Amino acid sequence: MQHSTDRILVTHAGSLPRPDDLIALNREQSGSQAAATRLRAAVADVVEKQIELGVDIVNDGEYGKPTTDPVDYGAWAMYVHERLSGFERRAVSMPDALKEVMGDSRDRRDFPGFYAQAAAARSARGSQPIEVAINVAPIRYTGQALVQRDIANFKAALANVRPADAFLSAIVTGVQFSASEHYRSKEQEAVAVAEAMREEYATITNAGLNLQLDDPLLVNVYEFQYSVNRDIAGFRNWAARHVELVNHALEGIPEERVRYHLCWGSWEGPHSADLPLKAVVDILLRVRASQYSFEAANPQHEHEWQDWKNVKLPPGRALIPGVVTHKTTVLEHPETVAQRLVRYAEIVGKENVIAGTDCGLGGRIHAEIAWAKLKALADGAALASRRLW
């Protein structure tokens, strides 16, 4: 993977705004030749768009992870159920789905009025049942045709441009969105997913592309299972086991081919019970990756740049702090972006910092704002580069 050798390189966390017609084809003609043709063209377009805006390390916008709703940003995780056997889709109510996914939460206990109001608003909009995947049989990887399609589309798009580097995203092992009816525990299910998903990880890197692992678990499990009792010790025991499983799934893949992304969740709310970065940063650095992408721009975590003063970044590793965020539609000023990047560069070295986003921008904010944020990111990185080199 590329480092910032003569300037701060620019990348992002993965998901980018999808064209309306691609979303419509996913909804109305999923699996058709028309959808496949449009997908290939859309990937080419989004790669060119990233280059145009000043992004150096590009991806396919995660367009191969289909969504049928412009505001549905769950495709980054839900796509996996098209590529694994052993799951059955069932409709459940939104409250039941949230309870299963999120469990208990101090944030929801501390701000019950806000969350009740949000639930009422969903109900008033006529919230419909959603589909969740229930594990009902042994889990095996069955997605070779789909991952090879994504690789082929992306490589075709890369043939027309010259980015500094390129990556494809995959969901981290261990993500479950429902109770298992086949395995005795979620832990056993997580192991089965790890064994299956390592095939996707290896396929991406064997194709000569870098792999980004998207991990919503490492910090969010604290919020939904340990925050009520502020059980940091119990959480850290779980987190250490989780990272061991992640590394098992990455076995045999060169570290320099892997970047690792974690986030504190994109639901609307105060996020007052988010796990502090300093409580998990040492475990984070055990992940066998060469670059670490994390939220650094939202109000709960921007101050955590200081925590890296007390951390020794291992040789050959780099940070991708999110210096623009999806959590607000306010557009970051390039000067703000530059200041954030310089802080990190002064701590871990300018060659070990790459400009990134807090999380994926696709589906979370309006497309016009998402593209503007990427431009502000690139402009801010250019400002920071002039100060650092």
Q: What is the CATH number of the domain that holds 175?
A: 3.20.20.210
Q: What is the pLDDT of residue 270?
A: 92
- Is residue 218 assigned to a domain? yes
Q: What is the pLDDT of residue 129?
A: 63
Q: Rounded to whole angstroms, what are the CA distances from 215 to 2, 141, 265?
A: 22, 19, 10
Q: What is the pLDDT of residue 133?
A: 81
Comparison of pLDDT for 194 and 97, the residue scoring more? 194
- Is residue 362 assigned to a domain? yes
Q: What is the pLDDT of residue 1?
A: 86
Dist. CA 201–CA 198, nearest whole Å: 5
pTM of the predicted model, to two decimals?
0.94
Q: What letter would DSSP give residue 344?
A: H
Q: How many domains does the chain have?
A: 1
- Is residue 369 assigned to a domain? yes
Q: What is the pLDDT of residues 289-340, one digit of tens each?
A: 999 999 999 999 999 999 999 999 999 999 999 999 999 999 999 999 999 9
Q: Rounded to whole angstroms, what are the CA distances from 81 to 71, 132, 232, 238?
A: 20, 10, 31, 24
| Share of residues in the chain with pLDDT > 70 (%) | 93
Q: What is the pLDDT of residue 268?
A: 82
Q: Is 273 helix (H, G, I), strand (E, B) or coil?
A: coil
- Is residue 103 assigned to a domain? no
Dist. CA 240–CA 14, nearest whole Å: 25
Q: Which residue from 146, 130, 128 is spatially nearest to 199, judged by alpha carbons?
A: 146
Q: What is the pLDDT of residues 22-49, one digit of tens each?
A: 999 988 998 899 999 999 999 999 999 9
- Average pLDDT score over the chain: 91
- Is residue 236 assigned to a domain? yes
- Is residue 131 assigned to a domain? no
Decide if pLDDT at 92 tops 80.
no
Q: What is the pLDDT of residue 49?
A: 98
Range(s) of the domain holding residue 53: 9-80+139-388
- Is residue 85 assigned to a domain? no
- Is residue 90 assigned to a domain? no
- pLDDT average, residue stretch 238-267: 94
Angle at 380 between CA 378 and CA 386, to 5 degrees: 105
Q: What is the pLDDT of residues 205-229, one digit of tens each?
A: 999 999 999 998 899 889 888 998 9
User: Could you tell me whether strands 354-357 and 9-10 are parallel, antiparallel, or unpaired per DSSP bridges?
Assistant: parallel
